[in-house]
């Protein structure tokens, strides 16, 4: 991507934040922890999508842990980082629309696990020893300490953008710290993705985690089909190396609003003022 290759260290650290370029062809990964598997796949087997910007989101990971793991992408090195503020990501402001039927007690079930909200932009460059077949010359990561559904709405809705790909990998709704199931076709993540004002859905969805391929062979999101699988998604030394399916959007169906399971709730005015897209109960 030309804009990344032309940036100097000074541009990254002090120049205008290139939000439009970053959102133009991005992958969004809520409840990501520190999983770099989708970056590797987009840099190699799925390079045809041209994704070189990754937007990660997790309210329980924390900036300190991120800093410890920053330089862990094999074959790449960090050339510059930058701390972001909410206005960098939502320059047009953000008026949250609550998904109907959302139980605020459920929404805040794991509030004790929230780390301090933050956002950081990291630009990586391929080491000289690796060639073009290893991946792009540069890619960038925006890591947001926030809640995945609110962050999607804030980032993509307010900027009239849609991610090229979405990752739902080991999102933690069973025994993890996620308050809702991201995989459900009538769930809150689906609602916020399907109701994007752009009226566009991600081209690809990564679905998987710990377990065998039979655990992830049915996405149940309308208009998607299995494209391929990624076996041994995690480190082969792990007892369970995991499996991820890549699903592809095959059709664009205009939904009859009368048949939707629920309709958008009212906007929140004024916008929440609680950091990076983790509204307090008092904001509602």
pLDDT tens profile 85-133: 999 999 988 888 878 887 777 776 667 667 788 999 999 999 999 999 9
Of 122 and 266, the one with more pLDDT:
122
Nearest-angstrom CA–CA distance, 161 and 223: 20
Q: What pLDDT is stored for residue 72 in this prediction?
A: 86
Q: What pLDDT is stored for residue 104 in this prediction?
A: 74
| pLDDT classification of 6: cutoffs 50, 70, 90 | very high
Is the predicted pLDDT of residue 262 greater than 50, yes or no? no
The parent domain of residue 80 ranges over 2-283
Is the predicted pLDDT of residue 191 greater than 60, yes or no? yes
Given CA atoms 105, 206, 170, 70 in this order, what sign does their dihedral have? negative
**Cβ-count burial of 65 within 10 angstroms (0-12 exposed, 13-18 middle, 19+ buried)?**
middle
List the single range of 8-17, 161-170, 246-255, 267-276 with lowest mean pLDDT.
Answer: 267-276
CB atoms within 10 A of CB 187: 18
Nearest by Cα to 73 from 6, 106, 112, 122:
122
Report, as an integer, the average pLDDT of 4-22: 96
Nearest-angstrom CA–CA distance, 91 and 245: 35
Q: What pLDDT is stored for residue 216 in this prediction?
A: 85
Q: What pLDDT is stored for residue 260 in this prediction?
A: 40
Q: What pLDDT is stored for residue 194 in this prediction?
A: 93
pTM for the structure as a whole: 0.86
Q: What pLDDT is stored for residue 248 in this prediction?
A: 96
**Contact 224/205 with Cβ under 8 angstroms?**
yes
Mean pLDDT across the chain, nearest whole number? 83
State yes or no: cis peptide before 270, omega within 30 of 0. Answer: yes
Residue matched to tokens 């609602």: 191
Mark residue 50 as left, alpha or beta (left: phi above 0; alpha: psi -120 to 50; beta: remaining).
left
Q: What pLDDT is stored for residue 181 in this prediction?
A: 78
- Positions of E strands within 10-75: 26-30, 53-57
Report, as an integer, the average pLDDT of 168-177: 67
Residues, the chain, total?
284
The domain total for the chain is 1
Is the predicted pLDDT of residue 280 greater than 60, yes or no? no
**Cβ-count burial of 208 within 10 angstroms (0-12 exposed, 13-18 middle, 19+ buried)?**
buried
- In angstroms, what CA-CA distances link 84 with 88, 99, 149, 150, 212? 6, 27, 19, 17, 38
Nearest by Cα to 42 from 53, 55, 56:
53
Q: What pLDDT is stored for residue 180 in this prediction?
A: 72
Name the range with the highest mean pLDDT among 67-71, 249-253, 277-281: 67-71
């Amino acid at each position: 991507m030309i804009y990344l290759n032309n940036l100097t260290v000074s541009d990254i650290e002090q120049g205008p934040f290139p939000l439009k370029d970053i959102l133009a062809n991005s992958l969004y990964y809520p409840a990501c922890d520190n999983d770099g598997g989708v970056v590797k796949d987009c840099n190699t087997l799925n390079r045809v999508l041209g994704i070189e910007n990754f937007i990660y989101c997790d309210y329980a990971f924390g900036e300190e842990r991120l800093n410890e793991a920053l330089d862990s992408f094999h074959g790449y090195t960090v050339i510059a980082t930058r701390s972001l503020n909410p206005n960098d990501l939502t320059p047009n402001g953000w008026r949250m629309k609550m998904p109907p039927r959302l139980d605020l007690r459920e929404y805040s079930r794991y509030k004790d696990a929230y780390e301090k909200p933050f956002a950081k932009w990291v630009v990586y460059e391929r080491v000289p020893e690796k060639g073009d077949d290893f991946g792009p010359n540069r890619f960038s990561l925006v890591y947001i300490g926030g809640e995945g559904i609110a962050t999607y709405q804030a980032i993509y809705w307010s900027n009239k953008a849609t991610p090229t790909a979405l990752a739902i990998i080991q999102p933690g709704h069973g025994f993890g710290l996620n308050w809702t199931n991201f995989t459900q076709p009538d769930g809150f993540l689906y609602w916020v993705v399907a109701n994007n004002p752009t009226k566009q859905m991600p081209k690809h969805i990564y679905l998987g985690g710990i377990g065998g391929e039979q655990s992830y062979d049915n996405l149940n999101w309308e208009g998607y089909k299995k494209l391929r699988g990624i076996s041994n998604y995690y480190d082969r030394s792990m007892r369970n190396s995991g499996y991820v399916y890549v699903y592809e959007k095959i059709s664009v169906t205009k939904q009859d609003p009368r048949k939707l399971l629920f309709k958008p709730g009212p906007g929140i005015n004024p916008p929440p003022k609680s950091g990076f897209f983790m509204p307090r109960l008092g904001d509602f």
